[in-house]
Structure 1
Amino acid sequence: MFEAPAPATVDRMLAAQHHAADTFGLRATGRRVWGYRGRTLSSAAGPHWLRVVCAEAGAEGGTLWNGPSTSRTLPTSVPRPDLFRIRDWTTEGYAYRAELYAFAPDPTVSPRPVLDADPGLPETWWKAMTAALDALADVPPPADREAVRGEYLRRVIPQFTGHQVDIVTWSTAHGDLHYGNVTRGPHILDWEGWGSAPYGYDAATLYIYALLNPATAARIRTELSPVLDRPEARTGLLTVCAQVLQAQDRVDFYAELAGPVHELLARL
């Protein structure tokens, strides 16, 4: 998903991955998948998927650290790979967590978060995704996990979109539902940031991250209309637009989306 980090971080994370694989009696193989600035490293490990996450010692814990483990309480109607085992350790000033998952056999929809072309997903895929979003939204929003903070959205939506925030309907969301985090199964990957968010936030992410291909975006808007047509989804849509515009100067694919997002906002 991201480029490899600095060589010292690469060496440290590879050593942690090797230790984790030995602990589980496996060997990490195949393509390395790096997280932002080398915070995570994932790859196949035998018939499983091995993910290693790190933090400075003493800074581990919290929402992102515990997201995957706490997501196991979500209903099985939300399709995701099973998390089998977790192992924690600390060494040389860093804390590590190894997570061993079932291997999702189907590839991700896109190698990067946004769509550059029509992925050719069948209608059955969209029905399954809509059902998964409905099942997730039916989960009472957790009091101890926030995918989007209310204080944040009330600040950035007027600042970056020119729209005002009315009443917010909160629901449970994945929080990072882009095309590199969903497979053609579909399976939904990477649950570290799940929590409460404005209703429709996940569906809005899928729609807005397709805006580089207008025809595909129009189809996705139709497929997700059961969610996005609800009035309470407006705040979720505005939140994603604001996040894109806020980060366009430091995230390349947000910069690509900025123009289409401005056009979308002009139509709202």
Structure 2
Amino acid sequence: MERAAMLDLRENSLPDVIEYCKKALDVEFRDDGPTFGWGGKSAGFGTSRGTWVKILSRATGSINERTWTGEECASVLSGVSKPRLLRSIRWSDEERGVVWRADETTLVSFPAVSSTPEIRNDSPGLSNTWWSDLGESLAALARQKTTRVGVRQDLINRRIREFAGDAIDSSVDEWTTAHADVHWANLTAPTLVLLDWEGWGLGPRGLDAATLWVFSLLAPSVAERVSDEFSEDLSSRSGKIAQLFMCVELLKMVRDYGDHPDLEKPLSREADRLVTELAESTR
């Protein structure tokens, strides 16, 4: 989970940045104000031509190429329910020591399932069609060919070793293309759209289902539905490694940054279970 240096756009007045975007894209922003992304790392605006513009920045010298180019690289994906990229601009801001980018996409009018990555409602009202559409989109994505990497093997090894020592072999034997950030604030309903394509790329088979599952642990019936819908991927060896990786990755976020504190107990419980299952399967 990247923690690159960035401006918190909720706390910085940026009229010059907004005016630059409006002129460069030849569009007006609606008056209902911005919608901010996680940690204020981005600001989104509806526009006068019925589109959406997302503005974000990174400190000069701290740009992660994978996440910086994710949205435009995702524009070539097919069979996946996602916003369509219309145009992008980038420019250097020497005074603030950052590089800006703005992406204009088709407008998604449906709300996110949750305002936070985790879900707490055991009955979110998601239809069978919604679940089917999610499965079809993730299956179509998994079939895409890419050289991008969403989660590296060395990161998986390091996180699992920090938690379980040498109890298991964490090498992944099946890799597929993944969104790599499928949580409840990146999924809309009642019509499914997958948002935020910054970090997509190759990951262990079942990574997206594993990510959605860990963010569902506070709503047991939803977690069970995720497990049922994606049982084939999650029951594979790579799927179990993906689940364990996501458990220990979120535990690190809980303990190092104070994120998602309510998830600590269920994450620990499930991580212990998965270590036991994976260790026993190799004996």
| TM-score normalised over the length of structure 2 | 0.84
Change (3 A) 1:128 1:37: closer
Q: Specify the SS of the correspondent of 1:247.
A: helix
Inter-partner Cα distance in structure 2 for 1:190 and 1:230: 27
1:152 aligns with 2:155: yes
Correspondence 1:237 to 2:240: no
Give the residue type in structure 2 aligned to 1:135: A
Deviates more, 1:22-31 or 1:61-70: 22-31
**Distance in 2 (alpha carbons) for counterparts of 1:95 and 1:266:** 42
2:224 to 209, 215, 218: 218
Aligned equivalents of 2:82 and 2:62: distance in 1? 27
- State yes or no: 1:134 paired with 2:139: yes
Aligned to 2:84: 82
Deviation at 1:98, TM superposition (A): 1.0
Pair 250,21 (structure 1): closer, same or farther in 2 beyond 3 Å: farther
Amino acid at match of 1:229: S
The 1:15/1:250 distance shift into structure 2, 3 A limit, reads farther
User: 2:23 aligned with 1:22, yes or no?
Assistant: yes
Structure 2, unmatched stretches of 5+, are 1-6, 275-283
CA contact (8 A) 2:9 2:41 kept: no
Counterpart AA for 2:138: L
Deviation at 1:60, TM superposition (A): 4.5
Indicate the residue corresponding to 1:73 in structure 2: 76
- Say whether the 8 Å CA contact 1:10–1:38 is kept in structure 2: no
Query: For 2:113 and 2:229, how far apart are their aligned partners in 1?
Result: 16
Q: Which amino acid aligns with 1:22?
A: K
| Match of residue 55, structure 1, among 54, 58, 66 | 58
1:101: which partner in 2?
105
Gaps of 5+ in 1: none
What do the CA deviations read for 1:24-73 (whole angstroms, capped 9, x no partner)?
A: 22224434232355432112223111101212345446111111011112
Give the Cα–Cα distance (whole angstroms) in 1 for the partners of residues 9 and 180 of structure 2: 28
Contact 2:205 2:242 in 1 (8 A): yes
Task: Name the CA distance, whole Å, in 1 between partners of 2:186 and 2:9.
Answer: 24
Contact 2:9 2:36 in 1 (8 A): no
Change in CA separation of 1:29 and 1:189 when aligned onto 2, cut-off 3 Å: farther
SS at match of 1:186: coil
Amino acid at match of 1:243: E
Distance 2:222 2:269 in 1: 16
Structure 1 letter corresponding to 2:84: D
Q: Which amino acid aligns with 1:17?
A: I
Q: Retained in 1: the 8 A contact 2:179–2:208?
A: yes
Is the alpha carbon distance of 1:146 and 1:252 closer, same or farther for their aligned partners in structure 2, counting shifts above 3 Å? same
Report the secondary structure of 2:55's partner residue: strand
The residue that corresponds to 2:127 in the other structure is 122
The separation in 1 between residues aligned to 2:210 and 2:29, in whole angstroms, is 38
User: Which residue, out of 211, 215, 232, partners 1:205?
Assistant: 211
Q: Could you tell me how far 1:99 is from its partner in structure 2? A: 0.6
Compare 221-230 and 197-206 and name the one that shifted more.
221-230
Does structure 2 conserve the Cα–Cα contact (< 8 Å) formed by 1:161 and 1:265? no
Cα-to-partner distance string for 1:151-182 (whole Å, 9 max, x where unaligned)? 11011113225652144311111111111111
What is the RMSD of the two structures over their aligned residues, measured on CA atoms? 2.2
C-alpha distance after superposition, 1:91-125 (max 9, x if no partner): 33332111101001111110010001131111111
3-state SS of 1:148 partner: coil
Q: Please give the TM-score of this superposition, normalised by the length of structure 1.
A: 0.88
Contact kept, 8 Å, 2:113 with 2:185, in 1: the verdict is yes
Give the number of equivalent residue pairs.
260
